[in-house]
Amino acid sequence: MAAVEMTEPAARTDAGLDYDVIIIGAGISGLYQLLKLRELGLRVKVFETGTGVGGTWYWNRYPGARFDSESWSYGYSFSKELLQEWDWTEHFSPQPETLRYLNYVADKFDLRRDIQFRSRVVAAHFKEATRSWEITLEDGSRHSARFLITAIGPLSTPTMPRIEGVESFKGASFHTARWPHEPVSFEGKRVAVIGTGATGVQTIQEVAKTVGHLTIFQRTPNWCAPLHNSKIDKETMEGIKKRYDEIFARCKETHACFVHTIDPRRTFDVMPEEREAFFEHLYASPGFGIWQGNFKDILTDRKANAAISDFVARKIRERVKDPVVADKLIPKNHGFGTRRVPLETKYYEVYNQPNVKLVDIKETPIERITPKGIKTSDAEYEFDMIIYATGFDAITGSFHRIDLRGTGGQTLKEAWAGGPKTFVGVQVEGFPNMFMVVGPHTALGNIPRSIEYNVEWVADLIRHMTERRLTRADPRSEAVEAWTENVRAVGEGSLVNEVDSWMTGVNRNVEGKQVRTLARYSGSAPAYRAWCDAVAVGGYKEIDLS
């Protein structure tokens, strides 16, 4: 076990409360937040629904689940020792390896002793009299703390499609984010996959390897690009370990914390042959380069976006033999990169297999799930297994599953009725002493880089408060307005914000999420950090501290 460096213990906030800090969630955010607050000498407790650590990588055990971030850019960067100890075996790590990594981290820093598993938080109420939070678990037990930190994940509440008869199906059925812990065989089975987002794509290309027959129900095709994953040998890993400082410095500079840097040229600055060669190069390169390392105007200029979209459409047509199927796989309602780009490995070739069928449910909608399978407007299909790759109630979903109440008993749902309003994505006015790690309006992208920043910023603020014996932190209205306006302003002109997706707060399977909201901060991560740094350096004037 590694020794954790202790700073001078700050004054505990209140001996009468059960804890100084309660953290909800034991994913990447919750684990690091626990470690950082322990360093301040605080009494910290983590409550987690699952039976183990890892969050996303604990729950998403579906076949083919893996990173689209480079593994070595995704892991924690805070401990040089950890970086030197851990060997990634693939450039885009599969879920079991990432889960092993997070368990290794939990053991190395002795984190489990402060985590209570099988403990879903159902309510959290602010108590003005004691300036504290009281949380209630599913089993009815209550726990109090000065500070509440939500580390509940932007993509952690799965959604099922709103189709009649889901419960009536007699075969096996799974949501990808609630996949069983035991192996599932597809051999000889008739399997349906509903959904073709990033998760659906990963699932489909894996299931297709062994399945008896696979039917894919697609509502909206996505623009997918090749992942080009490969193994990391010992020598390469040694090289990566030597370059960690450089890698994380690079992630700090880029728009979305990936290793890919946006090309400073505009699409039509270059001759057609050069443009084509550049697109070919990106299509043949690993990871998100084609999205995050492309010409600088592909997500702001319609013509530029059409150029890259045409290029990828041609690739799909080349790879899928049946032109009718290829056409169905090409998105028509949004341009390349305006939704998160699923990265794939031989995904399009799956549709050339004789035992695979694509059903376009815009043409022939699903009417209901039946005891035997799925009934669309023109056919009845029988299945042994249905896989729901129908995604998440993203960003705000996990907040709305908790009865969260701030001052005067107002609920977070009420406070966010027209979409989230936050101060730097970390605080909500009227919810004093509550801090969100990667809440709405924070920089996402290569998410652990944003998590580390958020966690350290929150720890610094709590240190600032405990050192001064301050016990209440509520962001000022003007600061919330200014930040929310900034979130709106930096999103202007972005084609991403003109498209319905989880990134713009839309999910047709969730009531109240039919129209776009300001769900996400779409400016650059460096600009986000500059704003937050200025708040800290200025002594947190934007927050009413007392």
Ligand X SMILES: Cc1cc2nc3c(=O)[nH]c(=O)nc-3n(C[C@H](O)[C@H](O)[C@H](O)COP(=O)(O)OP(=O)(O)OC[C@H]3O[C@@H](n4cnc5c(N)ncnc54)[C@H](O)[C@@H]3O)c2cc1C
Which residues lie near ligand X (CB under 6 A)? 24-30, 47-50, 55-56, 58, 60, 65, 67-69, 74, 120-121, 151-156, 199, 398, 401-402, 437-438, 446-447, 451
Minimum CB separation of residue 224 from ligand X in Å reads 14
Angle between helices 447-467 and 28-38 (to 10 degrees): 30
Minimum CB separation of residue 353 from ligand X in Å reads 24
Closer by beta carbon to ligand X, 155 or else 479: 155
Whole-angstrom distance, CA of residue 244 vs CA of residue 449? 13
CA quadruple 433, 438, 441, 442: dihedral sign: positive
Minimum CB separation of residue 392 from ligand X in Å reads 7
Instruction: Please provide residue 174's backbone torsions phi and psi, each rounded to the nearest 5 degrees.
Output: -140, 145
Closer by beta carbon to ligand X, 22 or else 163: 22
Closer by beta carbon to ligand X, 47 or else 431: 47
Minimum CB separation of residue 343 from ligand X in Å reads 9
**Amino acid letter, residue 412:** L
> DSSP for 452-486?
HHHHHHHHHHHHHHHHTT---EEE-HHHHHHHHHH
Instruction: Please provide residue 519's backbone torsions phi and psi, each rounded to the nearest 5 degrees.
Output: -80, -25
Exposed/middle/buried for residue 482 (C-beta within 10 Å: 0-12, 13-18, 19+): middle
Minimum CB separation of residue 137 from ligand X in Å reads 8
Spatial contact of 394 and 507, defined as CB atoms under 8 Å apart: yes
* DSSP-H helix ranges across 7-153: 28-38, 56-59, 71-74, 80-85, 95-108
Closer by beta carbon to ligand X, 304 or else 341: 341
> DSSP for 274-294?
HHHHHHHHHHTSSTTHHHHSS
Four-CA torsion 75, 79, 84, 90, nearest 10 degrees: 0
Minimum CB separation of residue 30 from ligand X in Å reads 6
Spatial contact of 209 and 219, defined as CB atoms under 8 Å apart: no
Minimum CB separation of residue 442 from ligand X in Å reads 10
Minimum CB separation of residue 426 from ligand X in Å reads 13
Closer by beta carbon to ligand X, 398 or else 422: 398
Whole-angstrom distance, CA of residue 338 vs CA of residue 209? 30
Closer by beta carbon to ligand X, 42 or else 447: 447
Whole-angstrom distance, CA of residue 11 vs CA of residue 318? 65
Closer by beta carbon to ligand X, 153 or else 226: 153
Closer by beta carbon to ligand X, 154 or else 226: 154
Closer by beta carbon to ligand X, 372 or else 401: 401
Closer by beta carbon to ligand X, 373 or else 505: 505
Closer by beta carbon to ligand X, 223 or else 381: 223
Closer by beta carbon to ligand X, 63 or else 154: 154
Minimum CB separation of residue 24 from ligand X in Å reads 5
Whole-angstrom distance, CA of residue 262 vs CA of residue 266? 10
Strand partners, 366: 376
Whole-angstrom distance, CA of residue 334 vs CA of residue 221? 10
Closer by beta carbon to ligand X, 99 or else 307: 99
Retrieve residue 100's tokens.
Answer: 């092993």
Strand partners, 175: 388
Count the neighbouring beta carbons within 10 Å of the beta carbon of residue 81: 10
Instruction: Report the chain's terminal Cα–Cα distance, integer Å.
Output: 38
Residue 370's region, left for phi above 0, alpha for psi from -120 to 50, else beta, is: beta
* DSSP-H helix ranges across 120-159: none
Whole-angstrom distance, CA of residue 528 vs CA of residue 201? 31
Closer by beta carbon to ligand X, 366 or else 443: 443
3-state secondary structure string across 324-343: HHHHHHCCCCCCCCCCCCCE
